[in-house]
Amino acid sequence: MGIGDSSNRSTSDNQSSDLIDLVKDFQQNFSSGFQKVLDEILFEGGYDPTINEEDRVEFVFTEIEQSAKIARENHELQKFLMNVQSLDEARRNMGYEPTTDFSNYYANLFSTSSSAEGTVKNNAQPENQHGTTDTPASKENVANKSILNAKTPLTEANLTNNPQAVILPSDNELDYDLDGSVKAAWEQTIKLYNEHSNQSLFILNALLTQTLPDSLFENEVQKANFTLLIAKQAHPIIDSFGVKSNRLYQYDKSILGSYHVFNESLEKEELNVKR
């Protein structure tokens, strides 16, 4: 093996590993030699470290390779979790004394039964911005919900045997894919905004107004308020990180969520928007 005339991360890691091996070799030789001195002192004091384990005294260096120590402790913990060894064996292999007093441990100091129950429930049925439903809402259900939010007049032709609104392929105003419409509008907006020379909040709002379908709203006032809301949310991100930022990944999903909240707020009359 020769010594190269250049260095990189790989060579520096190898050199660091070689240095650690040399230091550990020196530590092992030193501790084995010093161990004989300790044994002689113990023999003079009336102890017998060769027969009685309780009389044994060892000279041990602290671990100098922290990454190896972390990996070893994680391995011991994994063996305990997989029922391969007991807690006392795991603590002993990690350099700790076995213990039976767990009163000062985190689980007893800060954990409660209610928080543990909530953790189990959240792991079994996690909750996100869509609630705790077992399956995500289908596109048809989302579209039907938007129809009901818009208070579309129901006629006999729009009803089934069950009291719910349905999407009729013959109705041009209702036959649209809500997810696809929002996604296409947002992608077109970003494309036009990136090509525009004057990139500002006003331009972003104007492009959103141009690309979002009018059928999503009852009137122009509602559309104007919604597009301005989305523009104020998206423009700081675009202005700081650019239109290709990872922060805008699947941003159409965020717009779709805001659209549902906007409609719900209109139904509850929480927004002062002209109906």
Cα–Cα distance between 5 and 37 in angstroms, integer? 45
In this structure, are residues 228 and 205 in contact, taking their beta carbons and an 8 Å threshold?
Answer: yes
**105-134, pLDDT tens digit by residue?**
877 787 655 555 555 556 556 666 556 655
Q: Cβ neighbours of residue 117 under 8 Å, at least 6 residues apart?
A: none
Identity at 236, one-letter amino acid code: P
- Summarised one tens digit per residue, pLDDT across range 172-187 is 444 457 888 888 888 8
Prediction pTM value: 0.36
In angstroms, the CA 144 to CA 217 distance is 14
Query: For residue 101, is pLDDT > 60?
Result: yes
**Contact at 8 Å (CB) between 196 and 203?**
yes
Residue 100 tokens, joined: 């039976």
Provide the CA 57 distance to its chain's centre, in angstroms.
48
DSSP track, 96-109:
-------TTSHHHH
Q: How far apart are CA 223 and CA 214, in angstroms?
A: 7
Collapsed DSSP state (helix, strand, coil) of residue 248: helix
Contact present, 265 and 271 (Cβ < 8 Å): yes
CA atoms within 13 A on the CB side of 131: 5
Query: For 200-226, what is the mean pLDDT?
Result: 88
